[in-house]
Amino acid sequence: MNKFIFKDEVEEPTNNKKLSKAKVWRVLVVDDDESVHQVTRLVLADAEIEYRKLDIVSVYSSSEAKALLTKDNNFCMAFVDVVMETDHAGLELVEWIRNELKNQDIRLVLRTGQAGSAPEARVIRDFDINDYKEKTDFTSGKMITTVYAGIRAYRDIMTIKRSLDAFKQLIKATHDLLKINQFRQFGSAALNHLLTLMDVESSALYIARTKIDFDDQSSNFIIACTGKYTCQTDDFESSTIDEDVKRLIQRAFEEKQHITSDGYFVGYYQTSSNASSVLYIEFDDDGENFKANLAELFATNVALILESLAHQQEVERTQKELLYIVGEAIEARSENKGAHVRRVALICELLAKKLQLKEDFIEAIRLAAPLHDLGKLGIPERILQKEGKLTEEEWEIMKTHTSIGCELLKKSSVGVSKLAAKLALYHHENWDGSGYPEGLTGVNIPIEARIMAIADVFDSLGSSRSYKSPWVIDDIRDFMASDKGKKFDPQLISLLMENFEEFCQIRQQYPDK
Ligand code: C2E
Ligand code: SIN
Ligand code: FE
C-alpha cells in the first residue's frame, strides 16, 4: 500500500480554511516540449479536488521519468508525450511503468503531437493506458476534465486497495489475537493492530467494564492505551485521562451505543451479559469515515474474541482457585469417596434451568455448587466421620460449617465464589424458617440457596454416609414431596417432581464407587 502518496507541501499558507495544506495530488508531466509544461501548469493552477491542490512535477524525457519513478513512485497521474528520445519513447515508458515498475495504480494519459505516428485505436488497445489525447485537440477544458476523472479513478483504486489491505490485516490480527490468553497482553496487541490499520499516529483507549458480582456493581478498568494516553493505573476513574474524554466514555457505557464525531470514534461493545467494553480513538483526518468504519469493524471483532477470552478466564480462574482445592481437600477428609460434589452441581444446574434462570447465572450456580460444604474443612474429623447420631454439642459445631464456608469464600472478588459464599451460608435454611444458621424464611432465602438445599438433600439421602445407609428412590421421592413448603421451596419441589426421572438419571450417570 502506498502510504505516502500525498507528500507534504511546503507552499505558503492559504486563506481557504478547509483546503488541506498537508496533502496534494501529485501529477507527473513527461514531455520534451517546455511550452507543454507551462500550459499544463497554467491550466491546472487553480484545480482542486476534495480540498487538495495539485502538485505538478516536470520531467523532459522518458529516461528522466524512469530515473525519477525508480526513486519516487508516488504519483496519482502522469501525462506522457509519445515522441521524445525516439518515436515511441512514451509508449515504451508506459510499458515500463506497468510491467517493470509494476505500478498498476497510476493513471496514465498519453499525449501526442503527431497523431499519425501512433494511431489512437491501436495504442489504447495495446497499451495499458487510461486516455489518449492529441495535443491540438487537448483544450484547457478537456485537460481539467481528464485530470478530475483521472484523480477520482485513482482515489477509488486507493480506497479499494486500502480496504483489501485492511481486511487482510484484520484477518491476520484476529488470528494473532486468538492465540493470546492474557487480558492485558490482548488489549495492547488489539490496539496495536488497530493503529496499524488506521495507518496514522492515533491515540486510543480501550476500557472494559465488568460486573464483579451478581448484584450489579460495576467497575471500569483500562485494558490498553496508546498514543498520548499513557496509564499508570488500570483504574479508569482515578486515571489522569481528560475529563471530557472520560465523560464521552461513560456516556457510551450508559447509552450502550457508539458515539461518532469528526475527530473521534467511541465504540460500545456488549461482550456478555456482565461485561462490556468501550473503544475510544482519535483521528486526525477521516473525510470518508473510512477509519471510523474500520475501527468499528475491528472493535466488533475484538469484542467477540474478548467475550470468549473473558468466559474462558472466568471459568479457568474459578476452577483453578476453588474447585480443585475443594474437591481434593473435602474428599480427603470425608469418608464418602463418591461423586456427590459433581452430582449436586449438575442437579443444581438442572433445577436452575427448569426455573428458566439466566444462562450465566445458571453457569455460576453450577460452578459454585461444589463449594457449598467448604466449611466442613473446619469441622473435626471425629464429628464428620462419627458413625452414630451427633450429640447436642457436636451438632452445634457441625452447624458452623455454613458460616465457616461463607467466611472463607466471601473474601474472593471472583463472581462465582461470592455466589458460593451465599450457597455455603444458606444451604441449610428451610422454607418455613426452621433451618440454620439464620432461620430465614421463604423468598428471604436466596434462590440459589433454595436450589442448593434441594440438590444437597436429594443427593445425600441416596448416598451412603458414616451415620446412615443410602435410601431407596421411592423413599427419597416421598421425603422430598412431604417437605414441600416446610423444608423446601414449593415451586422448586414441583419442578423436581415433574422432572423426577431426569434428576434420577444424574445419580445413575455418576454413581458412588
Ligand atoms: P450431609 O450428610 O451432606 O447431609 C446433607 C443434608 O441431607 C442434611 O443436612 C439433611 O438435611 C439431609 N440428610 C442426609 N441424611 C439424612 C437422613 O438420613 N435423614 C434425613 N431426614 N435427612 C438427611 P443436615 O441435617 O443439616 O446435616 C448437615 C451435615 O451434618 C450432614 O451433611 C452431615 O455431614 C452432618 N450430619 C448430620 N447428621 C449427622 C449424624 O447423625 N451423624 C453424623 N456423623 N453427621 C451428621
Ligand atoms: C460434600 O458435600 O461436599 C461432600 C461431603 C459430604 O457430603 O459429607
Ligand atoms: Fe452442608
Residues 6 or more apart in contact with residue 399 via CB below 8 angstroms: 428, 436, 437
In this predicted model, which residue has the larger pLDDT, 13 or 207?
Answer: 207
At the second CATH level, the architecture of 334-509 is Orthogonal Bundle (1.10)
Mean pLDDT of the chain: 82
CA of 429 to the centre of ligand 1 (A): 13
d(CA 280, CA 208): 11
CA of 459 to the centre of ligand 1 (A): 11
Residue nearest to atom 29 of ligand 1 (CA): 398
CA of 450 to the centre of ligand 1 (A): 17
Most confident of 209-218, 246-255, 413-422, 497-506: 497-506
C-alpha cell recorded at residue 429: 435454611
d(CA 239, CA 233): 6
Residues 6 or more apart in contact with residue 126 via CB below 8 angstroms: none
C-alpha cell recorded at residue 46: 487553480
Residue nearest to atom 2 of ligand 2 (CA): 373
Ligand nearest to the backbone CA of 479: 1
* Site to substitute for ligand 2 among 336, 408, 461, most atoms within 8 A of C-beta: 336
Every domain of the chain and the residues it spans:
24-161, 178-311, 334-509
Ligand 2 within 6 A of 275 CB?
no
How confident is the model over 452-495, as pLDDT tens digits? 999 999 999 998 888 899 999 999 999 999 999 999 999 999 99
Ligand 2 within 6 A of 341 CB?
yes
Residue 400, CA distances (Å) to 11, 119, 368, 407 in order: 83, 102, 19, 11
Beta-bridged to residue 275, according to DSSP, are: 210, 272
Ligand 2 within 6 A of 340 CB?
yes
Instruction: Please spell the DSSP secondary structure of 309-326, one letter per residue.
Output: HHHHHHHHHHIIIIIHHH
How confident is the model over 331-371, as pLDDT tens digits? 556 555 567 888 888 999 999 999 999 998 998 898 888 88
Residue nearest to atom 3 of ligand 1 (CA): 460
Cell 434462570 identifies what position? 357
What number is the average pLDDT over the span 305-318?
Answer: 67
d(CA 96, CA 101): 6
In sign, the C-alpha dihedral spanning 463, 469, 474, 479 is negative
How confident is the model over 428-451, as pLDDT tens digits? 999 999 999 999 999 999 999 999
The yes or no reply on domain 24-161 and CATH 3.40.50.720 is: no
Residues 6 or more apart in contact with residue 254 via CB below 8 angstroms: none
Atom of ligand 1 nearest to the CA of 376: 34
Task: Give yes or no on whether 24-161 and 178-311 have one common fold.
Answer: no
Note the CATH number of domain 178-311.
3.30.450.40
* Site to substitute for ligand 2 among 326, 334, 423, most atoms within 8 A of C-beta: 334
Catalytic residue positions, numbered: 376
Element (H, E) at 393: helix 392-399
d(CA 13, CA 7): 16
CA of 329 to the centre of ligand 3 (A): 15
225-235 burial, b for 16+ CB within 10 Å, e for fewer?
A: bbeebebeebe
Ligand nearest to the backbone CA of 379: 1
CA of 456 to the centre of ligand 2 (A): 9
